[in-house]
Amino acid sequence: MPLCIQCLSQAQLPAFPGAEGVAKNITGGRGGDVYKVTNLNDAGAGSLRYGIQNAPASGRTIVFDVAGTINLASSLDFNGKDNITIAGQTAPGGGITLSGNRLRINPLFNGNSIVDPISNVVVQFLRVRPSEAADNADGVWVQTADDVIVDHVTTSWSVDESISVTHDSDNVTVQWSTMTQGLLSHSYGSLLNGGTYTYAHNLYAHNRSRNPRLQQSQDMIMELDFVNNVIYNPGDRFAYGGDEYSVNWVGNYGIRGPETGDTNHAFARDTDMESSFFVEGNLMDNNTDGMINGVVPVLEGGSHEAAMFRTGADYTLLGSRVPIPEANVTSAQQAYVQVLSRAGATNFRDAHDRDMIRDVINQQPGQISSESEWGSLPSLPTGTPAADTNNDGVPDTWALSAYGDASTPLNTTYASSGYTYLEEYIHSLTPYAYMPTNTQSHTITTGYGLGGDAQVNENGGTSAISSGDGTGNALNALWDGASGSKNQAILLKFDLSEIAPGTVKEAVLELTAAEAVVGTHTFKVYGLEHDGDDWDWDESTVDFADAPGLAFDGNSRTLGIDPRYTADGEPSEKDNFPLDTPGVYSLGEFSIDSLVAGETASFEGLNLAVMLNLAAYYEGSPHAGLVTLILEQTNATGTNDATFFSHEGDALLAPRLILDATLATPTVVENADFDGDGDVDGRDFLIWQRGAGSVGSPSTGDANGDGNVDAIDLGVWQDQYGPTNLGVAAQVVPEPTGMTLMVINLLVWLKTRSTSWHV
C-alpha cells in the first residue's frame, strides 16, 4: 500500500520545486540509475553523450563530476531515450557549457519515420553555445517530443534559433532560460509549432527576430502560455507569426533597443488567418531613452507606437485565458526584475551571461555575426567534486547530514516529500533559482555591517583637485555645470548579509535632507558591477581619484561617471543608445523639488532591484553581498546644493535601502546542552532518548535546529559530550564500551523507525 500511495502522489508532484506550466508534473529520471559525467570528451565512456545514448528505459539521472566546456563534434541527440534528467547544477566549479553544436531532444528516426518516440525529459542548468562553426544549428531543439522541461538553460551564439519546440511536440515547458545573441544573418529566438507549450520567465536579447515565431503544424493547432518573458533589442520584429493558434500573452516586457527596426508591435501578425489571443498585463518600452519605463501598449497601432498588434491585423481577442495549465504570473515589472536576476544557468553566471544582463540594464547594442565579435568562449573554474563512495550521485557529507548514512543508494530512496533523496540533494544546490517567497519589508542603512558612505570631490575648475570626506555628518551631491568649479558625487555602500542572496523583489533608496534643499535637482543613479575596480573602498580614505566608477580628469566642468557628458547632463556623442561606462550599471534617475531639513528623497527602480540581486552570484568572494551605489547630480534650478545625512550624521536617517526581500536564515549553532545547565552530559542524553524519532525543539533533543530529534542530534551529543559531570550522572551514563554498543543499537533502532518515514 505505501508504494501505491507513493505512485499516486507522483502525478501531483512537480518535476522539481519551481517547475511550472504544461510539463510541471513530469518525473524525468526519478527513481532510475545514476550516470556520472567524468570527462569533457565529445563521446566515449564517461562523456555526456555516452550517458544519454546508453540510458536505460527505466530512467536515468545524469550528474557531473567535472566542470568546463564540452566541444561537440556533432549534434548531441537523445534519439528516443526517455525518462532522463540532466542536472547541470551538480557540476562543480563553473558548471557545463556545450559548444560547437546543438542539444536535440528527439525521437529515434529511420528516415522520416519514428522508430522510438521520446518523452519525459528534464534538462537543467546548462549553457549551449553552438557558434558559427555549427551548420545551421539551434541551441536547444525539442523535436517531436512529449513531456519535456527545459529549465535554467543559457543559449547564445546559435546559428538558427536558440530554443525551439516543433514538429508536433506536446506538453513542453521552457522556463527561466535565456535566448541571447543569435548569430546573424539568422539570429532567431524561438520557432514554435505543434502542441501545448509553456514559455515562462525567459529572456530574449539581441536576436534579429522570432522572439518567438508561432506556426501551425500539419497535425496540431498550437496552444501557448507565453508568460512573464522579457524581450530586449530585437532587430526587425519582437514576436510574429501567421497560421492558426491560441495564445495567452500575459505579463511580458518588450524593450526596444538601439538595433530595433521600425516595427515595434509586441506581436506582428503576418497573415490574415484567424488566431486567438488573451492579452493582459504586458508592457512595452519603445523610447530608447536609457531608462526602463514601459507603458501598457494599445491594442492596435502604427509602426512607432507601443502597440500589441498592427492596425488592421486579424485576430480574435479572448475574454479569458486559453484553458491550459498556467505558469505563475507576476506583473511585467516584477517579471523584468526576476528574469534578469535569475534566468539562465545561474548556478554560475559566466562572463557572457553577465554581459547580456548588463546590456539589458544599460540598454546597449549587441547583435553580432560571429562570436569572435564578442570575444573568446569564457573559461570556467573546474572545482572539485565531493566524495560519493556509493556513486548514487549524493555526496557522502550531504547523505550523512540529511539521511544518516552514506551507504544507502539515495537515488532510489524516497523522502517524505515524494522526491528521492538524490532529487532533494539536487534541489538544494540552487536554493534561490526561482521566485523568492516569504518576502518582507526590511531596511538596511549605510551604517550596517561593512556598509559606508562618502562624499568625493573634484573641485577647482579646469585645475581641479581630488578630495573626499567619508567621516562627516553630511553628503553633498553637487555639479555646477560646464562652467562651474564644483563636481561632487555621493558613494553609498550597503551590506546585504541580512537578506537571502538574490531574493529582492522591490527596492527603494531613501536619503534624508540634512538642510533645506531649494529648487529642482536631478540625480543619476549608478551601481558598481560586483567585480568592478575599487569595490572595497574605505569611507575614511576614499577620494574622487580612487573612487569606484568615477573618472578623475582634473576638470570639475565634466561629470565623473563619464567625462563626455555636456552641460545638460546628456552625452555629447550618442548613436541611439546611452553611452556605456565600463564597470557600472545605469540604474535610472530621479528628481526632487525643494525639501525642508528632515524630508526624504527617494529613488525606486527596477534596475536597482536587479543590481542588488546580482550580488548573489559572487557568494564566496570577498565582495559577496556588498553593493556600491553612486549618485551624481546632473541638473539643478535654485541653489546647487543638495545635502543629505550620512550615517555619522544620523544613524536612523542615514542613506537606506527599503527592500521587499527574504531574510537570511540565521546560522544555526549546534548545541547538545538540552537542559541548559552549561554542560553536555548524561542528562542531555536522556532528553534526546525520550524525544528520539519525534518532531522536537532544542529542549527535547534537537541539537541542529532542523525540527527533528534523530541520529544526527545524537552525533552532535557525542561530539560535544564532556567528562566533567560523569559522577553526577553515573547511574545513567554507561561505560565507554557500553556506550558504543548502546549508540549502535540506537542507530539501528532509529534506522528501523525511519524506514517508514522514507517510503
Q: Where residue 684 sits, what CATH number does that domain have? A: 1.10.1330.10
Span 644-657, mean pLDDT? 97
Residues of the chain with pLDDT > 90, as a percent, come to 70
Return the pLDDT at 560: 87
pLDDT above 50 for 725:
no
- For residue 671, give the nearest of 697, 636, 646 by alpha carbon: 697
Check whether residue 112 and residue 180 sit in a common domain.
Answer: yes
CB 299 within 8 A of CB 280: no
pLDDT above 90 for 317:
yes
Return the pLDDT at 219: 78
Check whether residue 275 and residue 342 sit in a common domain.
Answer: yes
Q: How confident is the model at residue 578 (pLDDT cuts 50, 70, 90)?
A: low
Check whether residue 206 and residue 353 sit in a common domain.
Answer: yes
Q: How confident is the model at residue 262 (pLDDT cuts 50, 70, 90)?
A: confident
Check whether residue 671 and residue 655 sit in a common domain.
Answer: no
Q: How confident is the model at residue 137 (pLDDT cuts 50, 70, 90)?
A: confident
Q: Is residue 412 part of a domain?
A: no
Q: What angle, rounded to 10 degrees, do the helices at 711-720 and 682-691 form?
A: 180
Check whether residue 355 and residue 451 sit in a common domain.
Answer: no
Q: Is residue 415 part of a domain?
A: no
Grid-cell match 508568460, residue found: 227
Mean pLDDT across the chain:
89
Return the pLDDT at 9: 60
- How many folded domains does the chain comprise? 3
pLDDT above 70 for 705:
yes
pLDDT above 60 for 210:
yes
Residue 708 is part of which domain span? 667-759
Residue 129 appears among annotated catalytic residues: no
Query: What is the tens place of the pLDDT at every residue in 356-402?
Result: 999 999 999 999 999 999 999 999 999 999 999 999 999 999 999 99
CATH number at residue 334: 2.160.20.10
pLDDT above 90 for 85:
yes
Q: Is residue 380 part of a domain?
A: no
Query: What is the tens place of the pLDDT at every residue in 536-565?
Result: 999 999 999 999 999 999 999 888 887 655
Return the pLDDT at 706: 80
Check whether residue 367 and residue 507 sit in a common domain.
Answer: no
- For residue 65, give the nearest of 41, 28, 99, 90 by alpha carbon: 90
Check whether residue 231 and residue 179 sit in a common domain.
Answer: yes
Span 501-505, mean pLDDT? 95
- Which residues, at least 6 apart from 109, have a Cβ–Cβ distance to it below 8 Å? 115
What are the Cα distances from residue 298, in Å, to 304, 321, 719?
12, 19, 67
Q: Is residue 477 part of a domain?
A: yes
Return the pLDDT at 543: 97
Return the pLDDT at 530: 82
Check whether residue 651 and residue 757 sit in a common domain.
Answer: no
Q: Amino acid identity of 370?
A: S
Last residue of a domain, one of 373, 391, 412: 373
Q: Is residue 542 part of a domain?
A: yes
Last residue of a domain, one of 356, 373, 390: 373
Lowest mean pLDDT among 343-347, 616-620, 685-689, 739-743: 739-743
Span 174-201, mean pLDDT? 95
Q: How many CA atoms lie within 13 Å of 493's alpha carbon, on the beta-carbon side?
A: 26
Q: Is residue 420 part of a domain?
A: no
Span 455-480, mean pLDDT? 94
Q: Is residue 390 part of a domain?
A: no
Span 718-744, mean pLDDT? 49
Check whether residue 516 and residue 650 sit in a common domain.
Answer: yes
- Which residues, at least 6 apart from 398, have a Cβ–Cβ distance to it below 8 Å? 386, 425, 428
Q: What does the alpha-carbon distance between residue 594 and residue 590 come to, in Å, rounded to a whole number?
A: 13
Instruction: Give the total residue count for the chain.
Output: 759
Last residue of a domain, one of 333, 353, 373: 373
Query: What is the tens place of the pLDDT at every residue in 28-71?
Result: 999 999 999 999 999 999 999 999 999 999 999 999 999 999 99
Dihedral (Cα; 594, 596, 600, 606), 10-degree rounding: 10
- Which of the residues 210, 237, 310, 349 is marked catalytic? 210
